[in-house]
Amino acid sequence: MSWSTIFFICMALVLSTQTADGYKYYRSARCVYSDDLHDMEFIDSYVFNKVEYIRFNSTVGLYVGLTEHGIYNADLWNKGPIVAQEKTQLEGYCKHNAANEYSNILDKHVKPSVPRLSSGTPSSGRHPAMLMCSAYDYYPKQIRVTWIRDGQEVTSDVTSTEELVDGDWYYQIHSQLEYMPKSGEKISCMVEHASLDKPIVEHWDPSLPESEKSKIAIGASGLVLGLVLSLAGLIYYQRKKSNGRTLVPSG
C-alpha cells in the first residue's frame, strides 16, 4: 500500500505585536518536512498587516524580499551576522526536534476496529438493498475504504463520509453501498490503513437473519412490481391510442 507524501509542521514560533491604531506585525518560524524526514526546510517569515514582506528559506540560504521594503531589508540582513544564525536553525532546531516529534507522536499507529457489515434501507430508492461498512478508533487520519463485488472494485453507488474526529485523537469513517442483490454474488469491504500489515476485509454474510432477508425481499419485490405495473400501463395506453378511442367512465 502506497501513501502520498504528507507534510508536517514540527515547529511554529509566532511572535506578534499590535499597536493601538491597529497595525499588526508578527514573525513566524517553522520547520516543514515530509513524512520520511526528507526535503526538510526551515522557513522564517516576517508579516506586516497580513502581508509577508521578507522570508528566510534554508534551501535558498538567504533572506528574500517580497515587497519593496522587504527587498531593502533583505539586502542589509544578508550582509550581517543574522543570516548566519538563521542557517544554523535547520540542523540545530528542525532536524533535532523532528526525531523527537516522530518518536513521541507522529509514528504512533492505532489499528481501526471494523465491525461486521450491516444492512439497511437506502434513502435514494434506486436500489432495494444497502450495506454499511465502518471503521472506528484509528490513528493517523489517512485511511482507504473500498467495496469489492465478485472480485471487482465497486466505484458507483458508493457514499462515504470524511474521516470524522472522535475528539480523543482517534478517527472514524463510514461507507455505504447501494445495490441490487444477485444470487451467488460475493460482496466485501476492504479497509487499508498505515497501522495494518495487510488490509482488513469483511465479507457480507448471505446467511442473514430472517428480518434482514425480509427487508431485502420486500424491497426487491416492490421494485419489480413497480416496473411491471408501469410497463402494463404503457401497453394499455398505447393500445387505446391506436384504436382512436378514449375510455370514459360510465356512471
- Please say whether the beta carbons of 177 and 131 come within 8 A: yes
Dihedrals phi, psi of 21, to nearest 5 degrees: -85, 10
- Asked if the domains at 7-106 and 118-206 fall in one CATH topology, the answer is no
pLDDT recorded at residue 200: 96
What pLDDT score was predicted for residue 38? 72
User: pTM score, two decimals?
Assistant: 0.47
pLDDT score at 221: 61
The per-residue pLDDT for 167 is 76
Question: Which residue positions in the chain have pLDDT lower than 50?
Answer: 1-11, 210, 246-248, 251
What architecture (CATH level 2) is domain 7-106? Answer: Roll (3.10)
Burial class (CB in 10 A: 0-12, 13-18, 19+), 144: middle
Query: 107-134: per-residue pLDDT in tens?
Result: 678 999 999 999 887 776 677 889 999 9
The per-residue pLDDT for 251 is 47
The answer to whether residues 128 and 216 touch, using CB atoms and an 8 Å cutoff, is yes
For the chain, the residue count is: 251
Q: Domain boundaries in the chain?
A: 7-106, 118-206
* Fold for the domain defined by 118-206: Immunoglobulin-like (2.60.40)
| Helix runs in 41-111, H state only | 68-77, 82-87, 89, 96-101
By the 8 A CB rule, do 179 and 129 touch? yes
pLDDT of residue 94: 87
Distance CA 43, CA 39 (A): 13
